[in-house]
Amino acid sequence: MQTRTLVVDPFDPDPALIAQAGDLILRGDVVAFPTETVYGLGASASNARAVGKIFTAKGRPATNPLIVHVASAREVDQVASEFPEMAQRLAERFWPGPLTLILPRAEAIPRIVTAGGDTVAVRVPRHPVALALLRAVGVPIAAPSANQSTLLSPTRAEHVLRSLSGRIPLLLDGGPTPGGIESTVVDVHTDRPRLLRPGLIPVAQLESIVGPLALAAGDSVPQGPDRSPGLSLLHYAPRTPLECSLDGWHRAQHLLAQGRRVGLLTLSTRPVLPVLPGLMVLELPENPDDYAAGLFASLHTLDEAGLDLIVVSWPPDTPEWLAVRDRLRRAIH
Ligand code: TXA
Ligand code: MG
């Protein structure tokens, strides 16, 4: 299969191009498209065969459920059997946007989407291309990140192609995705809300609406039988071994002295580093949102550079870095 790429204006996508993508989805095929977080690989959520193509293209285990995207909160009843009051308050505040809610599954959603479970993940994306596509098809779209399973999420069209070229019929190229990391996932299907995956929305903002979130205090990957399946470790990882260090520069020098080729990802605030053979340095802004926006793109670049090892300097262990530290922890191997 040849993957076709259509370049679309991320702010004002051409309806004719969106219609081409929409036709494919309505005919039961898959399409990669930009959201405000990362690129997604979408299929009609009520079509089990189409959703199966997502799992095949990604090599995704059937035990990992998908997020279903809808055009507005009014369409939640097509996906979920209940929309609890607490969930509605979160939706009102953060949709469209990078917040995914776990709700009871509606009959219309086949079990392949939810990995056999009775809950479903739902969100309304903010990206104009994603919204235009949802409105054009008029049905919910199931879409995980558009990368091969366990590898880094894609924030640019070229990342999607590197992972899925030849495995999907169409990619809508809307340029770099602004958010850079995946949506915040909150489980609101019981009375006790739980943070399953930190993201760009600060925990304090969520808690101001729903009260204390379980698992919100620690900056650790949730463990236990009821964690989100996609939260297993070794997720979002580059192929090159990656480690995090409190003093990345020190660690990188040590590895260089052993004759290894090292990539160093560090905050831009530190003093300018000398140019050394075997060392590739990338810097990211010290603002957590700007850092998140560039994180996966930087890791993709380092991963493509033929290095022996990637060293990342840990950003501060403070609440505003929760989501970035979570993604770094999963990239370690
Ligand atoms: O920003 C995003 O969320 C992107 C864009 C494309 O929307 N999507 C994304 O999908 O990151 P994916 O499949 O890479 O991650 C979905 C996460 C996984 O951790 C999965 O386990 C969790 O959501 N999830 C999905 N359905 C769930 C459910 N019913 N219960 C608990 N966790 C669920
Ligand atoms: Mg993913």
DSSP result, 142-185: E--BSS-TTBPPPSSHHHHHHHHTTTSSEEEE--S-SS-SPPEE
Other C-beta atoms lying within 10 Å of the C-beta of residue 33: 31
C-beta separation of 51 from 193 below 8 A: no
- The residue-averaged pLDDT of 263-284 equals 87
146 CA → ligand 1 middle, Å: 12
Mean pLDDT, rounded, for 115-139: 98
Residue 61 CB–ligand 1 contact under 6 Å? no
Predicted local confidence at residue 235, as pLDDT = 66
**Looking at residue 268, what is its pLDDT?**
86
Q: How far is the CA of 25 from the centre of ligand 2 (A)?
A: 20
Residues 264 and 279 sit within 8 Å (Cβ to Cβ): yes
Residue 225, pLDDT > 70, answer no
pLDDT attached to residue 233: 54
How far, in Å, CA of 221 to CA of 135, rounded?
35
The pLDDT assigned to 270 comes to 67
Q: Kindly tell me if the per-residue pLDDT of 92 is higher than 50.
A: yes
**Residue 64: CB within 6 Å of ligand 1?**
yes
pLDDT at residue 222, as a whole number? 40
Cα–Cα distance list, 331 to 42, 125, 244, 254 (Å): 24, 25, 9, 21
**HSE-up of 317 (CA within 13 Å, CB side)?**
8
DSSP 82: -
Atom of ligand 1 lying closest to residue 66 CA: 25
The pLDDT of residue 274 is 79
Whether residue 282 is predicted with pLDDT greater than 70 in this model: the reply is: yes
Which DSSP state fits 107?
Answer: T
When pLDDT is cut at 50, 70 and 90, the band that residue 190 belongs to is confident
Q: Is the CB of 38 under 6 A from ligand 1?
A: yes
Q: Look at the block and give the residue holding tokens 């995914």.
A: 100
Q: Rounded to whole angstroms, how far apart are CA atoms 34 and 125?
A: 10
Q: Which mutation among 60, 145, 160, 188 tests ligand 1's pocket best, with the greatest number of atoms within 8 A of CB?
A: 145
Count of CB atoms within 10 A of residue 208's CB? 10
d(CA 11, CA 127): 8
Q: Is 112 in the pocket of ligand 1 (CB under 6 A)?
A: no
**Is residue 86 a contact partner of residue 186, using CB atoms and an 8 Å limit?**
no
Q: Please state the rounded mean pLDDT for residues 47-63.
A: 97
CA of 271 to the centre of ligand 1 (A): 38
Q: Kindly tell me if the per-residue pLDDT of 130 is higher than 80.
A: yes
| DSSP 8-state class, residue 276 | -
Q: Is the CB of 75 under 6 A from ligand 1?
A: no
- Name the residue with the closest Cα to ligand 1, atom 19: 230
Least confident residue range of 49-58, 224-233, 261-270, 306-315: 224-233
**121 touches ligand 1 (CB under 6 Å):** yes
The answer to whether the beta carbons of residues 130 and 69 sit under 8 Å apart is yes
CB atoms within 10 A of CB 318: 10
Nearest CA to ligand 1 atom 3: 183
Question: CA-CA distance, 266 to 314, in Å (whole number)?
Answer: 8
Q: For a pLDDT cut of 70, what percent of the chain falls above it?
A: 93
Give CA–CA dist 232/1, Å, rounded.
Answer: 31
Q: Is the CB of 222 under 6 A from ligand 1?
A: no
* Amino acid present at 33: F
**Closest residue to atom 15 of ligand 1, CA basis:** 144
pLDDT at 218: 38
pLDDT tops 60 at residue 328: yes
Work out the pLDDT band at 232, boundaries 50, 70, 90.
Answer: low
**Structure-token pair, residue 46:** 């009520």
Atom of ligand 1 nearest to the CA of 40: 6
| Cα 257 to ligand 2 centre (Å) | 36
Work out the mean pLDDT of the chain and round it to a whole number: 93
User: E strands along the chain, which residues?
Assistant: 4-7, 31-34, 39-44, 67-69, 99-104, 119-123, 141-142, 170-173, 184-187, 194-197, 242-245, 262-267, 279-284, 309-313
| Ligand 1 contacts CB of residue 248 (under 6 A) | no
Atom number of ligand 1 nearest to Cα 231: 19
Best residue among 67, 133, 168 to mutate for probing ligand 1, ranked by most atoms within 8 Å of CB:
67
**191 torsion bin: left (phi>0), alpha (psi -120 to 50), beta (else):** alpha
Q: 3-state DSSP call for residue 95?
A: coil
The span from the CA of 273 to the CA of 150, in Å, is 32
